[in-house]
Chains A and B, each alone.
Chain A
């Protein structure tokens, strides 16, 4: 089995590489976590950061229904002008392909 040190395990966990790692690599990380309480703590803390982010901005949070209704109306009210929109009227340079990052 591959033996990983703390630095390597930390990088694998924080970079998100673990989710797509090979079975052998995942086992090596799990094995290391069994042996190392510092790396266990580190991984637990990173999971907690994700939980906190979902708590702050996940579904149902910070979304006042009145704000959303107002926004929806404002956006949909701008649709009728679409037919008349000329290329010069475009507000942001999205190029004509499925790369949303513009030319």
Chain B
């Protein structure tokens, strides 16, 4: 498949974009190559911006700005990472910038303390997880998750969305967010526990 066609199979399309010829076209600011990248990733980039907590209008602004920066800086792209990794790295910076202007994030060290208190010195549960019915059909669950994620720092939230929603590998997420594998593990741990603790505090009952 030529890179210009609409990607029926994302994996195959993704491979075409790793091709040295395609990388060369991106570096040379080839208009058609940019069009391919926009068509391939626009929806995913937009969904990720929404998942990272931006409202629809800010998401649109950030998405536009991300692709424009991508196009303007493409001459510096050397093909050592995938086009998508480069693009999402720019997206992350734009989202962090937008969040800095608009939201106050809570510190996350407290979640480590909260988790410590959940266990006895021998490592067994002192306060086990409460039963919660987290069925995704339940509106209160989905709304609760959105509310709870609002307090999570941008980088942790991005890590969570890139893994759970976009299904990206550890290696790729580390490159996008510029963190080590160990740091990424800590970010997943904190984000998932913040989210779970927050939902439990909201009193979502269930199994």
Contacts and interface: CB of A to CB of B under 8 A. Distances in A.
B141 interface: yes
A80 B29 CA distance: 10
B47 A62 contact: yes
Interface in A1-28: 5-8, 10-11, 14-17, 19-20
A62 to B, nearest CB: 5
B132 A16 contact: no
Interface in B39-91: 39, 42-44, 46-48, 50-51, 56, 60, 63-65, 67-69, 71-73, 75-81, 85-90
Nearest to B143: A56
B179 to A, nearest CB: 10
On chain B, which size bracket covers the interface?
Answer: 35 or more
A63 B75 CA distance: 30
B67 A101 contact: no
Contacts of A8: 123
Contacts of B93: 92, 100-102
B141 A52 contact: yes
Contacts of B38: 72, 75-76
Nearest to A42: B129
6 contacts: A46-B196, A50-B163, A52-B134, A54-B164, A96-B75, A100-B89
Interface of B: 29, 31, 34-35, 38-39, 42-44, 46-48, 50-51, 56, 60, 63-65, 67-69, 71-73, 75-81, 85-90, 92-94, 115, 119, 122-125, 128-129, 131-132, 134-136, 141-142, 145-146, 160-161, 163-165, 170, 175-176, 178, 184-186, 188-189, 192-193, 195-196, 199, 207
